[in-house]
Amino acid sequence: MKPFLFFFLVAFIAQSSSCNTTDDDENVLSKDGPFKISELAGNWEATKAQFSVNTTSIDVVERGGTAQMAVQANGRFTISLNPVDRDAYSVSGEMFWEEWKQTSHFTIIWDDSPGERDTYSHTYDGTTLSFNGGTGTGEYDFNNDGTMEACSVHYIFIRP
């Protein structure tokens, strides 16, 4: 009986360690998805640059500030924000499509967090790009004390 139990245990361990993983379980970054990231190359003007946390929401553009985005064909970009009540600043990163479970997700790797990816819902019609992220996909200094706070972000950009 003991040899049979030993054989069964070895066979079970061998099968468990050789499980097939499919490409559906792997996250793959690409520049091709529902549209090519290179299609975004150029300059963009924000009609909305909204930052939200809990019950606080600030739209820099609605308050009289500006936000512009410059995108390179390789997906590298810089967003320049100029709120009316504080100094202007810029953030940058790179845009990708993240393929996961046969679905393309609009993804940004921000330069200030190179090991992390943030995924956003998006719309794009050739002239308007909108992306909207959940909690922790953006940062804003809500009380102007010099400390950025994690928040959700919603941008709507148009080509000028």
Q: Residue 33 maps to which CATH number? A: 2.40.128
Whether residue 11 has pLDDT greater than 90: no
Where in the sequence is the domain holding 148, given as residue range(s)?
A: 27-158
Q: How far apart are CA 50 and CA 87, in angstroms?
A: 17
Strand partners of residue 110: 93
Q: How far apart are CA 120 and CA 71, in angstroms?
A: 17
Tens digits of per-residue pLDDT, 30-68? 999 999 999 999 999 999 999 999 999 999 999 999 999
Pinpoint the alpha helices (H) of the chain.
2-17
Instruction: Let me know if residue 52 belongs to a domain.
Output: yes
Q: Please tell me the total count of domains within the chain.
A: 1
Q: How far apart are CA 147 and CA 8, in angstroms?
A: 59
SS3 138: strand
